[in-house]
Amino acid sequence: MHRTATKLADGRELFYYDQEWAADRAAVDRRPLVPAASLSETRLDPVLGEWVTVAAHRQQRTYHPPAGECPLCPSQDDRLSEIPAADYEVVVFENRFPSLATDSAAYVAAHDDPLHTVRPGTGRCEVVCFSPDHHASVADLDEAAVRLVLDAWTDRTAELSALPDVQQVYCFENRGEEIGVTLPHPHGQIYAFPFVPSRTTRMIARAAAHRIRTGRNLFEDLLTAERAAPERLVLRGEHWTAFVPFAARWPYEVHLSPNRRVRDLTALDEAERAEFPGLYLDLLRRFDRLFPAPAGSAPNRTPYIAAWHQAPKGGGDELALHLELFTVRRAPGKLKYLAGVESGLDAFVTDVSPEAAAERLRGVAAG
């Protein structure tokens, strides 16, 4: 992997990731941009003990632009975008409309009160462009391209984790308007949080309780049990396992875990990195085959969220790195809308049994 660092016109950082050195990475951002102040703040919910980010300045962010005005396509002639180069492989840059930013502390003061605790929304939000092809998807890439994406995720995890205010790094992709994507270009995001999100906190607490009760690691025991339960297995590699969780929340949900417990992306070894792209592409393509498109129409693109769960900085050693992939589509033309008990109480009711989902995913293998 070759990384080239540069800056955009307003001072934001941008990184090109290439399989080999590329000559045109010195292209200058010619747009007349000025730095924008980040007014993000985080507020502590006194009832749940969870942090909520308030980022009112994001109301002006780009929303469903025409394909010819996509800010994630390479710049061409006078059509200038967020990427100054005329082509690229993988690009990561600071979000122009971030929920969290390193300079938030300069504009938002901390406030301590048992019922009204406020902190500046310090942190960082980055955009990861997976391909210069506006109409592509991660599932269309080859293994070498996905390996480059993995290397970019890993590099950003290492660098963002070193920032003083960052507690957890979260790499993810949302695909499809049904998920809420406002830019169709193939891309993901990285959030560097100044706090440990509640889902991670709950996982760590459950793992700690399991250690006290059994003397073993929860995630290692879980993976051993799922590898011995073929009814929920989807893929089984030498270094990774993909399975539908026993208590899956979503109609089609798969967890992809390295067989060796590691805390984050930076701890993966070369053998694990080499095997990941093939398995990940297999999973994404199976998701696209779940709901075939009618004959003569465009290929199906199943909406999904793919999210890396990593241990937070300075703690959570019982947590195991894993990727969670799920879709909100439950049947052809039907979405899984969150009901009142789910949105209001976080009490999920699944529409497809985990065993049936795993059988369906096994059955849509290529060929």
Confidence check: pLDDT of 171 > 60? yes
pLDDT of residue 62: 65
Tell me whether residue 187 is one of the annotated catalytic residues: yes
Lowest mean pLDDT among 54-58, 91-95, 191-195, 242-246: 54-58
pLDDT of residue 21: 84
Angstrom distance (rounded) from CA 336 to CA 345: 16
Confidence check: pLDDT of 2 > 80? yes
Give percent of the chain above pLDDT 70: 96
Q: Kindly report the average pLDDT of the chain as a whole number.
A: 93
Compute, in degrees rounded to 10, the torsion defined by CA atoms 270, 272, 277, 281: 180
The CATH homologous superfamily to which domain 2-194 belongs is: HIT-like (3.30.428.10)
Lowest mean pLDDT among 145-154, 161-170, 329-338: 329-338
pLDDT of residue 162: 96
The per-residue pLDDT for range 186-209, each reduced to its tens digit, is 999 999 999 999 999 999 999 999
pLDDT, average across residues 157-161: 98
Catalytic residue among 187, 210, 255, 309: 187
229 vs 342, higher pLDDT: 342
pTM exceeding 0.85 = yes
pLDDT of residue 51: 97
How many CA atoms, within 13 angstroms, populate the side-chain half-sphere of residue 262?
A: 18
pLDDT of residue 68: 82
The CATH 3.30.428.10 portion of the chain extends over 2-194, 199-363
Q: Residue 254: name the closest of 225, 285, 287 by CA.
A: 287
Stated length of the chain? 367
pLDDT, average across residues 314-322: 93
Burial class (CB within 10 angstroms; exposed 0-12, middle 13-18, buried 19+) of 36: middle
Q: Residue 230 carries which side chain, given as an amino acid letter?
A: P
90 — pLDDT class (breaks 50, 70, 90)? very high
Confidence check: pLDDT of 185 > 70? yes
pLDDT, average across residues 26-49: 92
pLDDT of residue 134: 95
Lowest mean pLDDT among 104-113, 214-223, 256-265, 343-352: 104-113
Q: What is the CATH number of domain 199-363?
A: 3.30.428.10
SS (H, E, C) the chain: CEEEEEECCCCCEEEEEECCCCCCCCCCCCCCCCCCCCCCEEEECCCCCCEEEECHHHHHCCCCCCHHHCCCCECECCECCCECCCCCCEEEEECCCCCCCCCHHHCCCCECCCCCEEEECCCEEEEEECCCCCCCCHHHCCHHHHHHHHHHHHHHHHHHHCCCCCCEEEEEEEECCCCCCCCCCCEEEEEEECCCCHHHHHHHHHHHHHHHHHCCCHHHHHHHHHHCCCCCEEEECCCEEEECCCCCCCCEEEEEEECCCCCCHHHCCHHHHHHHHHHHHHHHHHHHHCCCCCCCCCCCCCCEEEEEECCCCCCCCCCCCEEEEEECEEECCEECCCCHHHHHHCCCCCCCCHHHHHHHHHHCCCC
CB burial string 41-52: b at 16+ within 10 A, e below: bbbbeeeeeebe
Confidence check: pLDDT of 309 > 60? yes
Confidence check: pLDDT of 65 > 70? yes
CA distances from 207 to 148, 254, 265 (A): 32, 20, 19
Confidence check: pLDDT of 275 > 90? yes
The per-residue pLDDT for range 98-156, each reduced to its tens digit, is 999 998 887 888 999 989 999 999 999 999 999 999 999 999 999 999 999 999 999 99
pLDDT, average across residues 28-48: 92
Confidence check: pLDDT of 295 > 70? no
296 — pLDDT class (breaks 50, 70, 90)? low
pLDDT of residue 87: 95
